[in-house]
Amino acid sequence: MQFGIVAKDNKHVELETTGRNLKRLKEEACIDGVMVDVWWGVVESEAPKVYNWTGYKELFKMIKRLELKIHALMSFHKSSQKRKTTSLPSWVVQVGKDNPDIYYTDRKGFRNDECLSLGVDNEPLFDDGSGTKRTAIQIYSDYMSSFKENMAEFLEDGVVGAIEVGLGPNGELCYPSFPSDRWTFPKIGEFQCYDKYLKKDYENAEKKAGHSMLDLSKEKFGDYNSKPDETTFFKENGTYDTEKGKFFLEWYSNKLILHGDQILREANKIFTGLKIDLVAKVSGVHWLYNHPSHGAELTAGYYNLYDRDGYRPIARMLNKRNCFLNFSCLEMKCNKDAKEDALSAPEELVKAVLSKAWKEGIEVIGANTWEIINAKGYNQVLLNARPNGSNPKGKPKLKVHSFMYLRLSETIFSRNYDMFKKFVRNMHADQDYCGDAEKYAHEVESNSAITIEEILAATKSSGSFKWDDDTEAKVDG
């Protein structure tokens, strides 16, 4: 759904227009549902534990009348697009004024206030309104509990079919290593571990290891807009490939996985027994993928190299929490006209990430990164959705669970609308819509048999499944 449909005052933006557009897409294109950002900064804006679900209830009722499903994103970050801004709750912003270390911080001290640092996950810093302090994890948990209580009618009747749990900037499980106001494509970005809580955690890891480690204040990481080979750390055979570099990268990436695991554990507790799909999103960092150091992935928190798998541990963690993986870039192909120094490989990245998810036995939801404007983009999505085509005797071995088209706007009707309708039909493999959640939804339940040690150890490189060269279901075929 378009950005900012429910504004900060719980008022709706263009609700009637949105309703007409959704009705048309339901009747003409046969879409199944919509994704809705459920903004923390809108619902709990006034005071801690004071939740106002009025705007979202009205929106959900409209979607229910249209007989569409809802993919609800618990958006614990701030965002802005086309002059529409959604900030963090004002009481959180006030804490940040007094203690800016609640935010991710780079080496020069720039604070990124898009979301809370994972360093405060277990720090009791936030007043709950009654004199007690809550941790960030408790805040997220309380918010999801309130959602469950106030949106019970939509959860119980299957209107809400999926709940995506925000885990970082843009709702993704990553560090905010490439902020739009400081970074330009296709550079490396910067590590985001300089708030006092993460610095202390790294120092404790050093003491536990019993030996000296990488000096984060002196190491030549470069800056947001450096190229890998302009740095000591990211250049080929650089510090990233030394024992000290490996220790730091393992700590940095493991903190991210543990952060995701903690929040998803809370989501499992809250939504256990409901017939919904829990979802977590991983960022599609496709640039510098063909450089030996994978620098942009490293700063984002994905310790992924030619001989080390950075995505399978995440997939195994999602398996433990019975959670789907949401991954973007499905429409992207290697662009021969792209910057040579981008070293971008979106097709290989998609194959790698989806393969690791399927090897760990979890479902994948795909998404586009950019608006799809031609058959080339739609066909690439269809290829990634079913890498080896359809199976006339049953479900194909490799397939995505669903695809999320980002985002709804008027241009969808004015630009290649017939092609979009054919794309939806081809995604459905010419099957009729099934609205009965009992037939396809997953019951929320953790897989407690998987230990955190097993998750963090899943780094052995294992390759990707084989993809067909082209989709059998081309929109222009």
Q: Where are the domains of the chain?
A: 15-456
Helical axes 346-359 vs 375-385, angle rounded to 10°: 20
Residue 434 has what pLDDT?
62
Indicate the pLDDT class of residue 80, thresholds 50, 70 and 90: low
- As a whole number, mean pLDDT of residues 321-350 equals 90
pLDDT tens-digit series, residues 372-408? 989 999 999 999 999 999 887 778 889 999 999 987 7
Average pLDDT of the chain is 93
Cα dihedral 345, 346, 350, 356 sign: positive
Cα dihedral 131, 134, 140, 141 sign: negative
Is the domain defined by 15-456 classed in CATH 1.10.760.10?
A: no
The contacts of residue 406 (CB under 8 Å, 6+ apart) are: 35, 328, 367, 368, 369
- As a whole number, mean pLDDT of residues 26-54 equals 96
Joined tokens for residue 358:
């399927």
- Position 12 pLDDT exceeds 60: yes
The contacts of residue 160 (CB under 8 Å, 6+ apart) are: 60, 69, 70, 72, 151, 154, 276
Residue 407 has what pLDDT?
76
Residue 341 has what pLDDT?
82
The contacts of residue 338 (CB under 8 Å, 6+ apart) are: 344
Helical axes 54-65 vs 15-24, angle rounded to 10°: 30
Percent of the chain scored above 90 by pLDDT? 79
Indicate the pLDDT class of residue 81, thresholds 50, 70 and 90: low
Residue 82 has what pLDDT?
54
The residue that leads in pLDDT, 337 or 63, is 63
Percent of the chain scored above 70 by pLDDT? 95
Indicate the pLDDT class of residue 433, thresholds 50, 70 and 90: low
Please compute Rg for the chain using Cα positions. 22
Residue 419 has what pLDDT?
92
